[in-house]
């Protein structure tokens, strides 16, 4: 029986992020949830993790449901300590619920699943030569996304829409802009995008492939735990 911990960069639990992955897991998997910001107030989060000018920014959610922008470097520094902690608590598998890049993140013995590597590898392998339209949550994340997706050819198109908006109108607008520019597939590059976003795009007439990180990670991880 595997012990798996979902680790969010925000506050746990985040069933909206883990649900698509959990659907692929064997029923015997023991699941726990942890977050980098667990136990902190919004004021404490903003004091320790507020975005800095010129730095990479991440978007997550606190336990009260409110979104929060975070400095990627500060999150990365705190993330390693949380990975160490959940491994000490018995995790055999640690699944990071974020598609950001965290170079040097490691475990001592547990399997570490980093969605950023899985989703980029999936797109380059399954959709070679396709014009991919990528959606990220924030405009300030586009420059980092261009670097992250640099191996994809032709060069992807980039747009923005928050996964935490009350409705999916901005996402649908970004998707249709990509399609009008020639995209034949969409990649929603944040763990915050899930089934409701996929359904909204289908309802808005998007018929091509729409990839979400949770679905990709779940499909890849499930067979390893059976």
**Same domain flag for 71 and 11:** yes
pLDDT at position 1: 64
Three-state secondary-structure class, residue 172: helix
Rounded distance, CA 193 to CA 143, Å? 20
Instruction: Locate 209 and state its tokens.
Output: 């492939």
For 128, the domain range is 117-213
pLDDT at position 147: 94
Distance in angstroms between the alpha carbons of the first and the last residue of the chain: 9
**Same domain flag for 98 and 147:** no
The candidate with the shortest Cα–Cα distance to 57, out of 141, 168, 159, is 141
**Same domain flag for 187 and 221:** no
Rounded distance, CA 148 to CA 172, Å? 23
**Same domain flag for 52 and 89:** yes
The CATH number of residue 186's host domain is 3.40.50.2300
| Local confidence pLDDT in tens for the 226 residues of the chain | 689 999 999 999 999 999 999 999 998 999 999 999 999 999 999 999 999 988 899 999 999 999 999 999 999 999 999 999 999 999 999 999 999 999 899 999 999 999 999 999 999 999 999 999 999 999 999 999 999 999 999 999 999 999 999 999 999 999 999 999 999 999 999 999 999 999 999 999 999 999 999 999 999 998 888 6
The whole model's pTM is what? Answer: 0.91
Look at the chain and report how many structural domains it folds into: 2
**Same domain flag for 14 and 91:** yes
**Same domain flag for 108 and 9:** yes
Rounded distance, CA 96 to CA 110, Å? 13
**Same domain flag for 108 and 129:** no
**Same domain flag for 13 and 106:** yes
**Same domain flag for 9 and 106:** yes
Rounded distance, CA 156 to CA 93, Å? 32
**Same domain flag for 124 and 148:** yes
**Same domain flag for 220 and 201:** no
The CATH number of residue 103's host domain is 3.40.50
**Same domain flag for 102 and 11:** yes
CA 6 to chain CA mean position, Å? 12
């Amino acid at each position: 029986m595997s012990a798996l911990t979902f680790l969010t960069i925000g506050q746990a639990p985040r069933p909206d992020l883990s649900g698509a992955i959990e659907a692929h897991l064997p029923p015997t998997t023991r699941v726990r949830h942890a977050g980098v910001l667990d136990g902190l107030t919004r004021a404490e989060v903003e004091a320790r993790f507020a975005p800095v000018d010129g730095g990479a920014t991440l978007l997550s959610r606190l336990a009260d449901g409110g979104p929060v922008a975070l400095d990627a470097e500060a999150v990365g520094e705190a993330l390693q300590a949380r990975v160490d902690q959940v491994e000490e608590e018995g995790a055999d598998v640690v699944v990071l619920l974020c598609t950001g890049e965290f170079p040097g993140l490691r475990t001592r013995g547990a399997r570490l699943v980093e969605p950023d590597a899985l989703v980029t590898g999936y797109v380059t392998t399954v959709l070679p030569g396709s014009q991919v339209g990528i959606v990220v949550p924030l405009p300030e994340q586009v420059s980092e996304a261009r670097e992250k997706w640099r191996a994809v050819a032709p060069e992807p198109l980039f747009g923005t829409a928050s996964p935490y908006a009350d409705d999916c109108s901005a996402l649908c607008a970004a998707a249709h802009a990509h399609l009008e520019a020639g995209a034949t597939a969409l990649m929603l590059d944040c763990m915050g995008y899930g089934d409701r976003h996929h359904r909204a795009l289908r309802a808005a007439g998007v018929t091509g492939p729409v990839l979400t990180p949770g679905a990709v990670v779940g499909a890849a991880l499930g067979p390893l735990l059976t």
